[in-house]
Amino acid sequence: MSQYTHVPKDIGTFIEELYGKGLQHSRYLGNDEIKEILHTIGIFRFKGYLYAFRNELGHHSIDDVLTLYYFDKFLTRYVMEFTSSIETLLKTRVVELCYKWTPNPFFYLMQENHKFSNFQINQPTLDNWRARSKRDGEEEESYTHYCLYYKSKYLFDTNKIRYLSGTATIETKDNVNYPPFHYLVESATLGALISLIKSIKIGEYDLLRGVAREFGINPKLFKHHLDRLNEVRNRAAHRERLFNRGFRSVRAFGQYHRLRKSIEPHCFSDVYLYFYFMLGHIDRYESFEDFYAKEIEVLFVEYRSDRLISLDAHGLNQKMEEKDFKNIKEFILKGMGVDKKSRP
């Protein structure tokens, strides 16, 4: 293994070195605008998109690299919206299903209701329920958040006596005012929610199997769908590169299986199909060509006129001529796993 050597670079020097290696100058932005953009993006993140052109640097401009970055940022917004919608659907189903099998709102703290003896709720979720006293100078919210409302009215010690007396519990912490299950689920991170789904078993009722049936997925394979959801959400939340990344594969069913035949199962276009499948919208499309025309092509149209991207990119998305955008669009689509044969 070789030793890493860090060589600090200022943005101006970095840009000039790229031009020296063959990267073409911008046709739409001035040098000061490019420096300002890179000062916001950062050299390290910019390099992640530059690397996509490593074998043909001389055939592309800095406009192309920035378009990759900003289109990916645009995609992130959609990914967060889709994953949030799926998360909401999961939370709704989980609460409904569990309360069909037990009236105890604190059942999730009982060891007998978990398949895994070492199950723990993650710290970010528990932080919502830590007992806190009002700080000096802190103003009351005009519309109290449900966590604050609950903690101001109820104590876990009292609920523990009523609902958990005489039963073994999972590991709990003294400074946490554990809420009823539906409160906890609403506040849970996606990772915590998935852990609950995988762990809870109320008597003979396995929650993972129950939720899987709600989505029409084989229970043995459903955990892979949950893991993909968590993977995609985490990448988007941390603004990692999306358009040309590989993602964990999942088994497809029904119309999802038929539509994905013309694309790679690890690419972003398959992830995009997966969102529509999980939300129950996949049957609206007759073929992948139909899906492409109605959903993927629209992404590029909306990107071109997006106001927030224009503010960040100094109008690059709107200034770029159609022929230049068409070329970089083809590059993006290839990275997303959509070749010309699978398009209308």
pTM value is 0.92
* Domain end (from 175, 198, 214): 214
Domain residues for the domain of 43 are: 11-62
Give percent of the chain with pLDDT exceeding 90.
Answer: 85
Q: Does residue 273 register a pLDDT over 50?
A: yes
Instruction: Say if residue 105 is in the same domain as residue 204.
Output: yes
- Residue 5 is assigned to a structural domain of this protein: no
Total number of domains constituting the chain: 3
Residues facing residue 169 across a β-bridge = 110
**Residue 201: its H or E element:** strand 201-202
Q: Does residue 144 register a pLDDT over 60?
A: no
- Residue 6 is assigned to a structural domain of this protein: no
Contact by Cβ (8 Å): 189, 125: yes
Contact by Cβ (8 Å): 313, 73: no
- Residue 287 is assigned to a structural domain of this protein: yes
Q: Does residue 156 register a pLDDT over 60?
A: yes
Q: Does residue 136 register a pLDDT over 80?
A: no
Q: Does residue 257 register a pLDDT over 90?
A: yes
**Residue 206: its H or E element:** strand 205-206
- Residue 35 is assigned to a structural domain of this protein: yes
Instruction: Say if residue 204 is in the same domain as residue 241.
Output: no
Tokens representing residue 7 in the block: 């060589």
Coil, strand, or helix at residue 205? strand
Instruction: Say if residue 256 is in the same domain as residue 310.
Output: yes
**Residue 138 pLDDT:** 53
Instruction: Say if residue 126 is in the same domain as residue 189.
Output: yes
Alpha-carbon distance of 303 to 340, in angstroms, equals: 20
